[in-house]
Amino acid sequence: MAPVRLGVIGCGIMGERLLRAACAHDPAVLVVAGAWDPAERAMRQLAAALPQVPRHETAAALVAASDCVYIASPPATHLVHARAAFAAGRAVFCEKPLAVDWNDAADFVREATKASERAAVNFPFASSFAVDQLQRWLAEGVIGPVRRADVTLGFATWPRAWQSAASSWLDGRIEGGFVREVGSHFLFLARRLFGPLEMDGWQVHYGPDPSLSERAVEMTLVAGGIPMSVQGKVGFTEMADCNEFRIVGATGSIRLRDWSFAERLVDGEWHQAANAMPNEIVRPLVLRRQLDKVAALSRGCPQDLARLDEALDVLNAVELVLSGLC
């Protein structure tokens, strides 16, 4: 079986990160077909960083050279590129959030589902070793019936320092903000673990500049019958970011901390799962798992990447909160 040819649209932080993982992947499974970005500066940077990656002159040329297209452009452009890839008969692996316009996203999901398109969204918790551990603990009943879940997000600044090159949209009201970029990961995790999301109430706080993204958020919701709270704040910590997804059961608690640490509360102290690793070490391993699943997706084989309906559910929650409607 020939390797899957993966093309990348968008050569920013996420595009380059996945390209590096793809270049290092098993070439019998997946190879890089190339990359395209409308910004000449991004293409020059790609040439310097990854000279072995073919650079295409247009998005259409990139799609034509690929079996699957990873879309890592700013969120407002995701569906345009995804529809073009579908029209060419390609599979799509889309960066989150799926879009910023919920109505357009809902139409897109209906279209893709009706046509049985091969598509998934890049929520890496679908391949997280720590999430696997949480699921084992839940299956084993180590905390008894789940009573609630609580998410806490903290950031020294927004965007985080390593995202500063993309601050023009990452800190904008239309496409950016930490609820879309980070909160959506944890809403996906709740959706995957417990079930569909139903929003209850929320408050969003902005800074003095009305064009910039949120600085704090509080929300309550229900995921598959499990009550949840989410709190996030910029300036909450000196760390670039810190996060906790805590699951409270009738007889104990477990949590995911700082992206990659699965921990269990025992006698009042948190204990890490065996072989837990910090995110900077585990991230490439998770990306490798994601890419194996992307290859399976492209071939029409079973895999458990984030589905379009899951991503749409997350998008609905995020955009409802950010809309200011309550």
The answer to whether residues 83 and 169 belong to one domain is: no
Amino acid at 218: E
Domain boundary among 97, 122, 147: 122
The answer to whether residues 67 and 153 belong to one domain is: no
pLDDT at 266: 96
Residues in the chain: 326
Alpha-carbon distance 123 to 31, whole Å?
21
The answer to whether residues 241 and 258 belong to one domain is: yes
- DSSP state, residue 146: E
Flag whether 289 is in a domain.
no
| Percent helix, percent strand, percent coil in the chain, to nearest 5 | 40, 30, 30
* Beta carbons of 210 and 222 less than 8 angstroms apart: no
The answer to whether residues 190 and 272 belong to one domain is: yes
* Beta carbons of 144 and 249 less than 8 angstroms apart: yes
Alpha-carbon distance 102 to 156, whole Å?
30
Radius of gyration of the chain (CA): 19
Domain span at 40: 4-122
Q: Give, for all 326 residues of the chain, the pLDDT tens digit.
A: 899 999 999 999 999 999 999 999 999 999 999 999 999 999 999 999 999 999 999 999 999 999 999 999 999 999 999 999 999 999 999 999 999 999 999 999 999 999 999 999 999 999 999 999 999 999 999 999 999 999 999 999 999 999 988 899 999 999 999 999 999 999 999 999 999 999 999 999 999 998 999 999 999 999 999 999 999 999 978 888 999 999 999 999 999 999 999 999 999 999 999 989 999 999 999 999 999 999 999 999 999 999 999 999 999 999 999 986 53
pLDDT at 239: 86
How many domains, in total, are found in the chain? 2
Q: For residue 310, how many other CB atoms are within 10 A of its CB?
A: 21
H helices of 35-128, in order, are 40-49, 59-64, 78-87, 102-114
The answer to whether residues 66 and 117 belong to one domain is: yes
User: Please, which residues bridge with residue 216 across strands?
Assistant: 205, 233
The answer to whether residues 172 and 84 belong to one domain is: no
Sheet holding 214-223, edge to edge: 197-206, 214-223, 226-234, 146-155, 241-249, 253-257, 261-266, 269-272
Amino acid at 26: D
What is the domain-level CATH number for residue 66?
Answer: 3.40.50.720
Measuring CA to CA, how many Å separate 131 from each of 214, 230, 248, 278, 297? 28, 18, 15, 14, 21
Q: Is 156 helix (H, G, I), strand (E, B) or coil?
A: coil
* Beta carbons of 87 and 304 less than 8 angstroms apart: no
Q: For residue 211, how many other CB atoms are within 10 A of its CB?
A: 10
What is the domain-level CATH number for residue 173?
Answer: 3.30.360.10
* Beta carbons of 56 and 68 less than 8 angstroms apart: no
The answer to whether residues 77 and 225 belong to one domain is: no
Q: In sequence order, what are the residues at sequence separation of 6 or more whose Cβ sits closer than 8 angstroms to the Cβ of residue 27?
A: 3
pLDDT at 282: 96
pLDDT at 321: 95
Q: Is 184 left (phi over 0), alpha (psi -120 to 50) or beta?
A: alpha
pLDDT at 1: 87
pTM comes to: 0.96
The answer to whether residues 160 and 238 belong to one domain is: yes
Flag whether 307 is in a domain.
no
Instruction: Give the residue carrying structure tokens 């992307």.
Output: 294
